[in-house]
Amino acid sequence: MLYTEKANEWKNSLEKTDPLYDELVSVTDEAELEDRFYKDLSFGTAGLRGKVGVGTNRMNRFTVGRAAQGIADYIKKEGDEACKRGVVIAHDPRHFSSEFSKMTALILAENGIKAYTFPSLRPTPELAFMIRRLKCISGINITASHNPREYNGFKAYWEDGCQVSSSVADGMTDCINAVDYFTGIKGMTALDDTLDKAYEKAVSEGFVTILDEKYDREYLDKIKGLAIHEGEELDLSIPIIYTPLNGAGSIPFMTVMKERGFSNISIVEEQKDPDPDFTTVGYPNPEDPKAFKMSEELGKKTGAQLLMATDPDADRFAIELLMDNGEYLPLNGNQTGYILVGYILDGMKDAGTLPENGAMVKSIVTSTMSSVMAEKYGVKMYESLTGFKNICGLIPYLESRDEKYLFGYEESVGYAACEDIRDKDGISAGMLVAEAAAYYKKKSGKSLYRVLMDLYERFGFYAEDEPNLVLEGIEGSKRIARMMEHLRNNPITEIAGRKVEKVMDYNEGSEDICHPENKIPGTNALRYFLEGEDTWFAIRPSGTEPKIKFYFYTKQGSRQEALDANASIKKAVMDVICSVE
């Protein structure tokens, strides 16, 4: 069906009193109309994600309701027991997140599926934990994670506590595609007073259960149980700044830190409370150093040695470290990963708790420095596709091999330190980084910046860079596809004066480069290994954003040499890719 036909179908189906109708008739730009209706918002292994608004390629009550109905149909095929086990639903602070979560609960209830909700916004990792804790068949989170304020999303999880695997996502997609937007959704209601009344009625009749604070307590206690050092081993007076970037992290993170005894932690007041417009930050991604502007200002006033931030749903986590010159250094996700890997392994070794069969997991586009670190401790570092459905999805595989999961992470500031929380968790990562800072300060007087420099001295001088190109809309999507096609049709054999020794095309699946017995499913990614130790780069389109991502890594005789070599390789690769129109 042409986009114009879809738009007319919506115009004829919407009530004229519906705000979505007013929005649709106000769209006069043809290119914008096409972008809203040229496709259905795709449901992949990360669920739905898109701009809020009217259209099949937007987040609104019909696209969200259709997804909820399709998942309900998928669960019903699993049988009555699956329906009784139910679905737990959470949401972030974004526009319509609360409304979409209530509507999703009502749709599930109307389909005979038990629904659990929270009384207000909660971190994504708490949702992931609750799926297995409540023995639910599935979980749903209404969130767009770190995306700009115009976005919202719908993440789907399965009974293992991970985001849905490709096979489950495919089955859900088939069910979703069979649902008509306007006639096929049970329990649909407008996002107004009628929604609240219907929701309250479903709660009073027992179809929807609102989880009380004891479940929050279980999640927080699980995080506190990850502690490696405590009490007198730590300098709990270390000055720290934290910002939740107006998201869901404020209460749980500050609760954990205060209960752990940290006495000198300050929160950025302007970013403490939920704000769907992210007024003080704009783009609420802690991976972007600009998100730390207010933290840096407060840090310089208080002498903070460590700045920490979580994104709106508190699954991503990033830090800045006070350097010897008094300025703050933004760390990329790899560098924070080095600190956490080193702290966990050192701590377990010192405590005598490091298992002989320990294992960690990183993504295929994450630095191999951590693999070198793990190997020094006799711990295996496995590789997986990006995303924690894949990283944490390896936990059952490790268990089948009698190997103990210790930690998983990826370069895009995601870390999973607990096998019972099967998604990236900014709350537990933040606690462990703060604990590491307090431990090293007490033990040796070293800052985390000095600790990071020591890690380079011990394990090799690596450099890391992860740029991306944002290419929005239909034409952006087509150009990204052309870029990947060009790379496959015109193989790179030399770049920046270095020979390409090996190319891995993950399109048809591959093997773990260190553990071939671990088979990696197919994905649209290319990885180039160059002459020189641990020198490589990778390219992949994002699965959740209009971006093509790049990853550059090298190891040299000094940190500066590594940075210079990496910059040279990056420039040469970007010149090639940007030449593709």
Give the pair of three-digit tokens for residue 398: 């490790």
Give the pair of three-digit tokens for residue 547: 């971006």
- For residue 145, indicate whether it is catalytic: yes
Cβ proximity of 299 and 241 under 8 Å: yes
Q: CA 377, CA 363: separation in Å to the nearest integer?
A: 20
**426-444 vs 250-260: helix crossing angle, rounded to 10:** 30
Helical (H) or strand (E) element with 321: strand 317-322
Helical (H) or strand (E) element with 510: strand 510-511
Q: CA 69, CA 81: separation in Å to the nearest integer?
A: 18
Cβ proximity of 573 and 553 under 8 Å: no
Q: Is 95 helix (H, G, I), strand (E, B) or coil?
A: coil
Residue 206 zone, left/alpha/beta (φ > 0; ψ -120 to 50; rest)? left
Query: Could you say which DSSP state residue 386 is in?
Result: S
Catalytic one among 97, 98, 101, 145? 145
Closest CA to 283 of 247, 250, 337: 247
Q: Is the dihedral of CA 231, 235, 237, 241 positive or negative?
A: negative
Burial class (CB in 10 A: 0-12, 13-18, 19+), 502: exposed
Give the pair of three-digit tokens for residue 182: 């306007």
Contacts of 376 by beta carbon, 8 Å cutoff, 6+ apart = 459
Across 528-547, b (16+ Cβ under 10 Å) vs e yields bbbeeebbbbbbbbebbbbb
Q: CA 308, CA 489: separation in Å to the nearest integer?
A: 43
Q: Can you name the residues that pair with 88 across neighbouring β-strands?
A: 116, 139
Cβ proximity of 114 and 87 under 8 Å: yes
Query: Could you say which DSSP state residue 208 is in?
Result: E
Active site residues: 145
